[in-house]
Structure 1
Amino acid sequence: MRTEQSVLRLSIVVTFALAAFGVIYGLLISSGSIIFDGIYSLMDASMTMVALLVSKLITASLAESTRTKLVQHFTMGFWHLEPMVLALSGVLLIGTALTALIGALSSLMNEGHPVEFGKAMVFAVVQLAAAVTMVVYTRRANRKIGSNFIELDSKAWTISAALTGALLAAFIFGWAIRGTTLDWMVPYVDPAVLAVVCLFVIPMPISTLVQSFSDILLVTPADMKHQIDEIAEKVVARYGFVTYRAYVARVGRGRQIELYFIVPQGLPPRRLEEWDRIRDEIGREIGDEGPDRWLTIAFTTDVDWAE
């Protein structure tokens, strides 16, 4: 399990198993919070499958031996799909939580409903153990892999663990107050905890949504632009160029950089090998050379070609 795709595959299998378990078990004991937990897991697994597909496309587009006709139709790569999938995942997770919140509030206003708390606690313990295990596993795996998809998947498992922990606490509380003076609260425990969990879940994907939409809209990252500007200014001073134009964007895991250097007219000619040497020098200074860096460096005497 050392690759992005292998981690996502395992996550999908575990999530689908827990989702099916949650939905069926929730229906059997009439627990809306457990049903929501299962539906949330099912939604997460579906988006993880889409993330796995995009990961495969990105990998295939970078390997000559695995190029296909589909890849040849997307010569600029598949990086742009990554923020789209992350944004869609965030929107769906928030939408699912909002729908469940409305259902929980409706149940609270209609005197709630009883739940078999003993059986519910069994579910919560199994679900919590599985979720915590996956949180630890995905975080450790992503320390070396550094994948946005795995990071989002890890967040989803964290949310699932927090959600299930809240359910377990609520079920223990509901079980404990049966037959006491607080027995009147028993029908409200399940919808109340569902509402609280939904309010906790809804803000969680927001940071991912903001970053994803920034990537989709090609918003220039300030830190990345500052780095490229510093390097370009040094190159202009070093070689006596007039000025430069820099265009940078981060699209998912991809970094797209275009640099145009305005060369003085009448400059003594250089061999093409010399211009390539300057390009290599700039590339090394920028760093992060690899399949996820798209770097274009051009030289011209006409500033119109750079704008």
Structure 2
Amino acid sequence: MPALRLPTFDPTTEQGVLRLSIAASLAMAAAAVAFGLLANSSLIIFDGIYGLIDVVMTWLSLLVVRLISLSTHVDTLQSRLNQRFTMGFWHLEPIVLGVSGTLMIGAALYAAVNAVDALMSGGREIALGPAILFAVISIVAETGLALFVRRANRSIGSDFIALDAKNWVVAASMSAAYLVAFLGGYVLGGTQWAWLVPYIDPAILLVVCLFVVVAPMGTVRQALSDILLITPLDLQTHVDEVARDIVARHGFLEYRSYVAKVGRGEQIELFFVVRADDPPRALIEWDRLRDEIGEALGEESPDRWLTIMFTTDREWAI
């Protein structure tokens, strides 16, 4: 009898990896809040809040991935949803990535302000036993998940999973900082440096917050670039090379290219200006030329929106 497979958490698919990450994030967030309250640690509580935000944003990422997948299958093109979003759902990907990174930065800034306030108010007394136990559990679990997600994404190549792997690395780094801080507090207890122990929790929290603020900035910057439809230079260069070759070989007057990258989707529009006295061609010949251009641009993909037009009027190409 073949082994029973659970497609919900299939590690070979983007949606399966994200579902697994959601479940793990929810479990770790719940544990962080519980241990944080038990240990009276704002550092651990922040870890739980960070994890809860990650759960919500990963769930949204999973929803967007499913919408993009459905919209690129022919058998669903006539659905009511696709009729309302005829241009696809690629634009949702950078929005979710940008919002996710922005929320992470916002939560970190808020926690940093609280950490500064605690430092100025004499620190915070914490129970080191539960705090150290949670830090050890977190390091093991989060490091394992970071390695697993990164390895899974080698064959999937998803920006969502890449961001999720980055979040697990950040979480594991935070847990390592917790462990160092709490062990340091345990060692200092009962010594002449014991007065430093209450400052450990808010001080490490402040350092972690500064790290969390920096980590998602690259993702937010790329998401903003996609939302604003800023043309990727490498893609524009490749499209222009193909278009110039077509113009030279077929004797066209000129071309206009419009290129953008939106999430995983590439949007390419090419307008070729043909001579008004160019000999008439059958429609099938123009279609063959479109196929030639499409092949020159690269392998066909459901995530590529390609429009190729031929006209004798320059105004249509502007």
Within-5 A mapping of 1:202-281: 202-281=213-292
Deviation at 1:29, TM superposition (A): 1.2
- Corresponding position of 1:137: 148
C-alpha deviation, 1:65, in angstroms: 2.8
Residue of structure 2 equivalent to 1:282:
293
Q: Distance in 2 between matches of 1:91 and 1:233?
A: 40
Structure 1, residues 160-205: CA drift from partner, whole Å, max 9, x if none?
0111111111111111110111111011010110001101110111
Map of 1:46 onto structure 2: 56
Partner of 2:69: 59
Task: Name the SS for the 1:173 alignment partner.
Answer: helix
Displacement of 1:71: 1.9
Cα offset, 1:28, TM superposition: 1.3
**Residue in structure 1 matched with residue 4 of structure 2 by the alignment:** none
Aligned counterpart, 2:16: 6
Correspondence for 1:22: 32
TM-score (norm 1): 0.99
CA deviations on 1:62-93 (whole Å, 9 max, x unpaired) are 11334431122101000000000000001100
Counterpart mapping for 1:81-120 below 5 A:
81-120=92-131
- Which letter does structure 2 place at the counterpart of 1:93? M
Cα distance, 1:119 vs. partner? 1.6
Equivalent positions of 1:98-177 (< 5 A) are 98-177=109-188
Mapping for residues 192-211 of structure 1, pairs under 5 Å: 192-211=203-222
CA distance in 2, matches of 1:36, 1:71: 40
1:291 equivalent in alignment to 2:302: yes
Distance 1:100 1:138, change over 3 A: same
Instruction: Provide the aligned C-alpha RMSD in A.
Output: 0.8
CA displacement 1:137-178 (0-9 Å, x = unmatched): 111111111111101111111110111111111111111110
Amino acid at match of 2:269: E
Deviation at 1:122, TM superposition (A): 0.5
Asked if structure 1 preserves the Cα contact closer than 8 Å seen for 2:76 and 2:82, the reply is no
CA–CA distance in structure 1, aligned partners of residues 256 and 57 of structure 2? 38
Q: What number of residue pairs does the alignment pair up?
A: 307
Report % sequence identity: 54
Runs of 4 or more consecutive aligned structure 1 residues displaced over 2 Å after TM superposition:
64-68
Separation of aligned partners in 2, 1:119 and 1:178: 16
Q: Which amino acid aligns with 2:34?
A: I
Could you tell me which runs of 5 or more consecutive residues in structure 2 were left unpaired when the two chains were aligned. 1-10
Matched position secondary structure for 1:297: strand
Specify the SS of the correspondent of 2:215.
Answer: coil
